[in-house]
Amino acid sequence: MVTQIELGDITVDVVLKDIKNVHLSVYPPAGKVRISAPLRMDIDTIRVFTISKLGWIKQQQRKLQEQERETPREYLDLESHYVWGKRYLLKVIEVDGAPAVKLKHSKMILQVRPGTDEAKKQAIIDAWYREQLKKAVPPLIAKWETMMGVKVELFFVRKMKTKWGSCNHRAFSIRLNTDLAKKPKDCLEYIVVHEMAHLLEPTHNARFVVLMDQFMPKWQFYRDKLNRLPVSHENWIY
C-alpha cells in the first residue's frame, strides 16, 4: 500500500516494507520521490525525515531536469551511436543473411535483412550492446573480488530505466544496465565497484562512503563523469 506525503509542491510516495532502514529515491523523468520505510515507522517520523532531506531532493530533481538527453534513435545511416565512450556513425546494410553488428574504423555497421523495421533494428543493436557488456564485466568482477574480499555469485545484464546498476546482497548478485556499454570503461568499472560495495554495505550510509573511498578513491570523479554524459531520452542520473 502506498501512502502520500505532501510537502509544498513535492509529493512523496511512502511504501512500508519489512526492512530495517529508510530508503529515499528520486526517479526520472520528472523527479518523482519515493520512500521505502520499515513497517514499524509511523508517518510523522517519516514526514520529519523527508523534511530533513528536502534540500537533497530538490537538488536531485534539478539534476534530472538539467541533464543532457540523447535524441530518440531511428536507426538510419549516419546516426550517432556510442561504444565505450567513442562515437560511431551508423551504416545500415541490407543483406539476405543473419543480422550482425560490427565496428569498422568510425562506423557501426548494422547488417539486417531487407525490410527490417526500426523496432527490430533496435533489438539487434540492444542485444549486441548486452553481449559487449557480458564480455567486459567478468574480468572486472574477478579483479575487484580479490581487492574487496567479496564474491559475486551471479551478475545480470539488462535494460534498466531508472538505475545504472543494482545489487541483491542476500543473493550476492548484481545487475548492470546495458547502456553502460555506451559509456567509457572507467565508468563501467565504477558502477561494478559501487554494486560490489553493496555486498558489504547494502545502504548508502557513511560506512558505504568509507568503503568506496577505501577501494576507489576517485569514485566521485567517475560518478560525476558518468552523470555529465548524455543519457537515453527516457533515462536518469545515478
pLDDT string in tens for the chain (238-residue length): 678 999 988 999 999 988 888 989 887 666 889 899 999 999 999 999 999 999 999 988 887 776 656 667 899 999 999 999 999 999 999 999 999 999 999 999 999 999 999 999 999 999 999 999 999 999 999 999 999 999 999 999 998 877 899 999 999 999 999 999 999 999 999 999 999 999 999 988 889 999 999 999 999 999 988 877 766 544 444 4
Write down the pTM of the prediction: 0.73
The C-alpha atoms of residue 44 and residue 51 are separated, in whole angstroms, by 11
Per-residue pLDDT at 203: 87
The gap between the terminal CA atoms of the chain, to the nearest Å, is 26
Domains and CATH numbers, the chain: 2-66 (no CATH), 80-228 (3.30.2010.10)
The C-alpha atoms of residue 190 and residue 168 are separated, in whole angstroms, by 17
8 Å CB contact between 179 and 163: no
Per-residue pLDDT at 106: 96
Q: Dihedral of the CA atoms 140, 144, 145, 146 (nearest 10)? A: 120
Per-residue pLDDT at 60: 84
Backbone angles phi, psi at 33, to 5 degrees: -105, 135
